[in-house]
Structure 1
Amino acid sequence: MSKQAINGNAQTSTEDNVQNTSKGMDRFLNFIERTGNKVPDPALLFFWGLLLVWGLSALFSQFSFGLVHPITQASVEVNNQLTGDALANFLANMVKTFTGFAPLGIVLVAMLGVGVADASGFINTALKNMLRFTPAKLLTPMLILVAIVSHTAADAGYVLVIPLGGILFHAAGRHPLVGIAAAFAGVSGGFAANFVPSGIDPLIAGFTQSAAQVFDPTYIVNPLSNIYFTGLSSILIVLIGWAVTEKIIEPRLSKIKIDDDAEEGENLGSITDNERRAFKYALLTMIAGIAVLVGLLIPEGSALRSSTGELTAFDAPIMQSIVPLIFILFIIPGVVYGRLVGKFKTNDDIIKSMSNTMGTMGSYIVMSFFCAQFLVAFSQSNIGVILALYGAQFLQYLDLPGQMTIVGMILLTAFINLLVGSASAKWALIGPILVPMLMAVNISPELSQAAYRVGDSVSNIVSPLMVFFPLVVVYCQRYVKNTGIGTLASMMMPYSIAMLIGWTLFLLAYWALGIPLGIQASYTYPL
């Protein structure tokens, strides 16, 4: 048999294997999709959860559970939320409950600034600049790193970095689907990894704090309580993504033929002289703003320090100003860039960009309304505390090491993530149960949050219910038209498995070494 025939048979066999894998993955993902489609919208989920809490509180308030709160030493009983007084209080405080919902204001304020920077084009140009001056050998890790940084701008990575990854790899003579896969792994699979504080940090911390206060009403969670862990995780995700891309994905995809009429896109993503000049001045204003902030923090009597002169104390104004600082440090360079490139011709254009950003937050605001009402009823009913105490007793009975409990939490979160896409909705649902339960066995809310963020990230890239998954399929079809959901999922499965194993072991090692998770974060909750 000729060498050409052998090569042809090998290529045919490889393509058949890819197609068989895709068909098997399609069947699995179709089952996941059918199951996930039966899960209602998160807002409805919280509404029905509210009704369920009311009903259960009325039922279980008739019984005595004989439980004692480990902190207050008071007897814990279920409070009926369907009494006249409870319902009157619910209605009287409905608006206050909504407007006082911690994650709501945090996210909206942060997104106002990030939205201006994104609408002006400042963030897009920043990401392009990071990728333009990269040696060919470091293209993969740099692409993944940029994908991780893109989390700062919420969905910017999905609409910019992932398609740009395909363009860059194609221009470099490598398979464009490899670039798309690597970028998708960084943007979505490594969603919890980022050394730059972003809106997701205070968002998740807000839900963690609400959950922790079900057990301990005085507990406060710093928005940057996981920043050291997520920062070092960035290095881990880059290394895992780099190894999987070049050792598994690229050899496999190199056998798939690119369509003859595939988009070349060499001129896409270029930066004009005007954009380059605008970016330089905008970046200088951001650096100047950071320098001014550092200068204000240095004096021991700084107004941004606590009354005792500390920077990281809970009552330090700088700690309470993290979200406003994110707003300021993004809106100023965004405005400068937008003015210089002509995107913002008048002040009305700036306000319009903010309005457009808020327009995209509509579903989140609706979800927050029902979530806030649910959490208040859940907390006031004491059902969460009782579940936590019974769960703690069960864990104590099993006598499992804390490490095994954390691994179980990561696996549980990764599975739920296949059915419920929203990170905040999932944490709002399971946090009020898991966080208090783990607090009752001495595991801190900050460690529980870190475990949740790992599990929440690793299965994003294999879930067709993730809102951007179909969009990534479209990106792939620019180069290989017969790409389907199963094809993409099979491409991303090695990343998901490698990240699940690697990141879990990393968290356990991180914990064993006692490296701080973040600012004002411990591994244990003192009872």
Structure 2
Amino acid sequence: MTEHSEPLVQRLLNKVEIWGNKLPDPAALFIALMVIVWLLSWALSGVDFSAVDPRTGQALVINNQLSGDAMTTFFSKMVTNFSHFHPVGVVLVAILGIGVAEFSGFINAGLRALMAVTGKWLLTPMVIAVGIVSHTAVDAGYVLVIPLGGVIFYAAGRHPLAGIAAAFAGVSGGFSANFVPSSIDPMLQGITQAGAQIMNSEIVLNPLNNYYFTAASSLLIITLGWFITDKIVEPKLKGNELDGDLSDLPTMEPLQENERKALRWSLFATGIGIVLLIVSTSFESSAWRASDGSLTSFSAPLMQSIVPLIFLLFLIPGLVYGIIIGKIRTTKDFIQGMSKAMSDMGYYLVIMFFIAQFIYAFGQSNLGILLAVKGAEALKALALPGGVTITGIIILTGFINLFVGSASAKWALLAPIFVPMLMQLGISPDLAQAAYRIGDSSTNIITPLMPYFPLVVVFCQRYVTSAGIGTLAAMMLPFSVIFLIAWTIFLMIFWSLGLPLGLQASYEYFP
């Protein structure tokens, strides 16, 4: 097939991949971005923007990151910026347990057993659905579901990068779609409620004020992701030949009797561990609960322990499987599994070091806050009709998300502006929050500034060594664009039909 005989969409995605892969190495890219932040903060530090910082109520100023005090502070915090950077610990701790499970053959055997009972045509929606549900475990999906998506597709004879794309779309692109309530729900609700109380101090929103919409959205995201993966992304990937080290990846060979025995015992051990966890969390006085008795709030020890629990979830069955199968005979063997997993993370750690420094400098400069506040003020000044304004909020949020990754940080900046503004138009805080969640989720998967984006690039390079930012961006762009458009229309349907977005507030919205 010649280039001109390919569909237009495929040609455009090929261009995105080529141009994207011509960008500097991700580590060098973040060095360049940090220098740009320094220069912009210096150039804009004396400018009066006539804007108020919603966090402090004071005039918003850009902090010069090239000043003597700022630079000495930057160097004094360089080590802690990296060592305390949240994605680093999350990834490395989880990878230790996964490394043992992979080294022993547990993951290989489990996937082969799964392939024996699951049709290939169901793999895509299954991977996306698992990615969506993984939000309940905070960031676990990035280090667990996404790499497994590639392994599952490879084991089924499909292109592994398509599996990574499907999983990434579920985990990150569908971040605000979930069957199961998660800690993000009360976090965003609290920020929305604070914004709504500017208009009516008696408003109390339900933590699940978007639950009906997010649950229904999960069906939308699974359906759209299924179509995009199978009809757009995977056909494009036929030209990306697999040239990585695939020697330890699973095949479709039937399990041998000793493998079935080891798998049964390892799953039995896992089941016992899960039962013990459930029992230990069931008591009101459980140490896993927060001071208010909640299991799902950010302060609950259970939520703080998600990554260590994932570590054990793979370590225990990995050890049991390896011992029974004979792969693990001494302590050196399972330590070798951890070491091998860590040896593959060197490139990721280099990238994370420079990302951590960039994010620190960007946050200290206040450039992201200025972008968010000015964008929101411009949208408010347009005084557009309700439906158009909601669409504008989604688009603006998606754009800001390319530069400011944290969902809570962005909403803390935007909610005090958007929520009261929309309430004056007769639009509920629940709807404002739902619009924000769509914009925040849809562009997660196309921004290299998202801390886990380079990790997904590393996962891709396991199969295609030449994969880079352009490869991943080209894979994920169709998901981002289609999710953004279809999800916005879906919200408009909810609104126009008067369907409840979730559990209702305790008070009327308007004074």
TM bin, normalised by shorter chain, reads 0.5 to 0.7
**1:110-129 counterparts in 2 under 5 A?**
110-129=94-113
TM-score, normalised to structure 2's length? 0.66
Cα deviation, residue 291, structure 1: 0.9
Cα deviation, residue 106, structure 1: 1.9
Could you give the per-residue CA deviations for residues 469-493 of structure 1, whole angstroms, max 9, x where no partner exists?
Answer: 799899xxxxxxxxxx99xx99x99
Residue 359 of structure 1 corresponds to 343
Comparing 297-306 and 181-190, the one that deviates more: 181-190
Match of 1:60 among 40, 44, 48: 44
Alpha carbons of structure 1 residues 495 and 366: separation in structure 2 relative to 1, 3 Å: closer
Match of 2:28 among 44, 58, 70: 44
Residue 145 of structure 1 corresponds to 126
Residue 405 of structure 1 corresponds to 392
Structure 1 distance, partners of 2:326, 2:254, is 17
Other structure's SS at 2:417 match:
coil
Structure 1 distance, partners of 2:461, 2:352, is 26
Alpha carbons of structure 1 residues 412 and 70: separation in structure 2 relative to 1, 3 Å: closer
Could you give the per-residue CA deviations for residues 328-378 of structure 1, whole angstroms, max 9, x where no partner exists?
Answer: 222111221222222323222212222222222222222222222222222
**1:207-218 counterparts in 2 under 5 A?**
none
- Equivalent position amino acid for 2:35 in 1: L
Other structure's SS at 1:75 match:
coil
Cα deviation, residue 274, structure 1: 1.4
Structure 2 distance, partners of 1:334, 1:508, is 47
Name the Cα RMSD after superposition: 4.8
Other structure's SS at 1:155 match:
helix
Other structure's SS at 1:74 match:
coil
Other structure's SS at 1:68 match:
coil
- Equivalent position amino acid for 1:141 in 2: L
Other structure's SS at 2:156 match:
helix
Cα deviation, residue 85, structure 1: 2.0
Any conservation in 1 of the 2:290–2:297 contact (CA below 8 Å)? yes
Structure 2 distance, partners of 1:298, 1:494, is 43
Q: Which runs of 5+ in 1 are unaligned?
A: 1-15, 167-176, 217-224, 254-266, 417-425, 475-484, 517-527
- Equivalent position amino acid for 1:120 in 2: S
User: Does residue 104 of structure 1 match 2:95?
Assistant: no
Match of 2:288 among 271, 290, 304: 304
Residue 70 of structure 2 corresponds to 86
Structure 2 distance, partners of 1:156, 1:40, is 28
Cα deviation, residue 37, structure 1: 2.9
Structure 1 distance, partners of 2:291, 2:168, is 41
- Equivalent position amino acid for 2:36 in 1: L
Structure 2 distance, partners of 1:195, 1:389, is 23
Residue 523 of structure 1 corresponds to none
- Equivalent position amino acid for 2:57 in 1: Q
Any conservation in 2 of the 1:282–1:337 contact (CA below 8 Å)? yes
Could you give the per-residue CA deviations for residues 62-119 of structure 1, whole angstroms, max 9, x where no partner exists?
Answer: 2333322234222222222222222222222211222122222122212222232233
Cα deviation, residue 440, structure 1: 5.1
Residue 162 of structure 1 corresponds to 153
Cα deviation, residue 458, structure 1: 8.9
Identity %: 36
Alpha carbons of structure 1 residues 294 and 429: separation in structure 2 relative to 1, 3 Å: closer
**1:35-434 counterparts in 2 under 5 A?**
35-134=19-118, 139-142=120-123, 144-146=125-127, 149=130, 152-158=144-150, 160-166=151-157, 186-187=166-167, 189-192=169-172, 235-240=219-224, 268-399=252-383, 401=388, 403-405=390-392, 407-408=394-395
Any conservation in 2 of the 1:147–1:186 contact (CA below 8 Å)? yes
Alpha carbons of structure 1 residues 102 and 185: separation in structure 2 relative to 1, 3 Å: closer
Cα deviation, residue 428, structure 1: 6.2
Structure 2 distance, partners of 1:41, 1:428, is 21
Cα deviation, residue 411, structure 1: 6.9
Alpha carbons of structure 1 residues 293 and 228: separation in structure 2 relative to 1, 3 Å: farther
Any conservation in 2 of the 1:147–1:184 contact (CA below 8 Å)? no
Alpha carbons of structure 1 residues 182 and 393: separation in structure 2 relative to 1, 3 Å: closer
TM-score, normalised to structure 1's length? 0.65
Structure 1 distance, partners of 2:176, 2:375, is 34
User: Does residue 514 of structure 1 match 2:501?
Assistant: yes
- Equivalent position amino acid for 2:417 in 1: V
